[in-house]
Amino acid sequence: MSIQVRILGTGCHIPENAVDNSAFLNHEFYDENGEAYPHSNEVIVEKFQAITEIRERRYAEPTQVCSDLGVLAAEKAIEAAGIDRESLDLIVSAHNFGNIKFGTRYTDQMPPLASRVKHGLGIQNPNSVAFDLLAGCPGWIQGVITAHAYLQSGQAKRALVVGNEMLSRAVDPHDRDGMIFADGAGAVVLEAQTTEGPSGILGLANRTYTADEAYYLKSNPGYKPGSNPDEMLIKMKGRKIYEFALRNVPDAMKGALDHAGIHLSEVKKIFIHQANAKLDHAVIERLYKLYSMPVDVDAVAPMSIQWLGNSSVATVPTLLDMVWRQQYEGHSIQSGDVLLFASVGAGMTINAFVYRW
């Protein structure tokens, strides 16, 4: 008999406001030197879609803030878990920019978003501890890894891990990379259970590279000349991130499998952060090469970036919820299936975990 950390329920909130690529045709795009691109916006958008496969993304309603999305996803996860919300010992909110009101560029992170999610859920129990986790796009997986430590140690019995993000309000409208980002939220309820066989979270991997990579993703003022120098918006070195991820993420995923004592041939589904479809395909192909195995990426790895964009911490739990609820045609999860979760992002952090359903 051993303590295993298992998922009791999942939930997500996908905003209804779909913004397709044509919405960017009237934007003014500038490079990092403040110079306008020589190409037309039609060419810029066409190349963007060819590289990322993103044709649309979701933005939250003007009346909503990031923590509101977290509450909506958490409600669904709690309902799916079938538990009394007052029994939650731990609430973790992974995000990057806090709450930003529509039409502003000012972040609001006090009180922590986890406390706001707890408040929104109406939880009265003071022993239900709530805190935020800032770890870039890998934040939700980092939240699961953190909750796993609490649950394994006996400090908690049940945990809610939410990934909520509203990147549409933290992007530079004059930066081509801004077309990648989106809004959304996903959540899971975890429970420590005493079981006989290996199940739940079986293995983990966690790495952070900062020697040369720390500022591949950072906050900087907008690119357009005359932009407010005090505004801190998402900026990234796309090529360097691509090369970094391709070089390091497959090995970290293998590290999680090795920690679990699981061979890649046993993995039924891979839930990888939806950063860029071309990158995600390349990372998975490189992982299978490490095992000298062929792979049909579309069969093993559901992807949502084409129509949901990159909602950072929300992409992985959102995908999990869609597949678990059989809302993603061609993909499902069965009892006993081995799942591999992985993400990479600001920091530069890579993390992964292996889970037996």
- Mind listing the pLDDT tens digit for each residue in 3-13? 889 999 999 99
Which member of 41, 95, 137, 331 is catalytic? 137
Query: Which listed residue (13, 148, 174, 273) is catalytic?
Result: 273
At the topology level of CATH, where does 200-356 sit? Answer: Peroxisomal Thiolase; Chain A, domain 1 (3.40.47)
Active site residue 137: yes
Does 200-356 match 2-195 at the fold level?
yes
* Mean pLDDT, residues 316-320 taken together: 97
User: Which has the higher per-residue pLDDT, 111 or 232?
Assistant: 111
pLDDT tens-place string over residues 85-136: 999 999 999 999 999 998 888 888 899 999 999 999 999 999 999 999 999 9
> Catalytic site residue 66?
no
Active site residue 17: no
Q: What is the pLDDT of residue 104?
A: 85
Which position among 21, 96, 310, 351 bears the catalytic label?
310
Confidence of residue 37 (pLDDT cuts 50, 70, 90): confident
Superfamily for the 2-195 domain: Thiolase/Chalcone synthase (3.40.47.10)
Residue 348 pLDDT more than 70?
yes
Q: Kindly indicate the confidence band of residue 205, based on its pLDDT and cuts at 50, 70 and 90.
A: very high
pLDDT value at 299 more than 70: yes
Domain ranges in the chain are 2-195, 200-356
User: Is the per-residue pLDDT at 163 higher than 70?
Assistant: yes
pLDDT band of 248, cuts 50, 70, 90: very high
SS3 for the chain is: CEEEEEEEEEEEECCCEEEEHHHHCCCCCECCCCCECCCCHHHHHHHHHHHHCCCEEEECCCCCCHHHHHHHHHHHHHHHHCCCHHHCCEEEEECCCCEECCCCCCEECCCCHHHHHHHHHCCCCCCCEEEEECCCCCHHHHHHHHHHHHHHHCCCCEEEEEEEEEHHHCCCCCCHHHHHECEEEEEEEEEEEEECCCCEEEEEEEEECCCCCCCCEEEECCCCCCCCCCCCEEEECHHHHHHHHHHHHHHHHHHHHHHHCCCHHHEEEEEECCCCHHHHHHHHHHHHHHCCCCCCHHHHCCCCHHHHCECHHHHHHHHHHHHHCCCCCCCCCCCCCEEEEEEEECCCEEEEEEEEC
Q: What is the pTM of this model?
A: 0.93
pLDDT, mean over the chain: 93
Q: How confident is the model at residue 1 (pLDDT cuts 50, 70, 90)?
A: low
Mean pLDDT of 147-152: 95
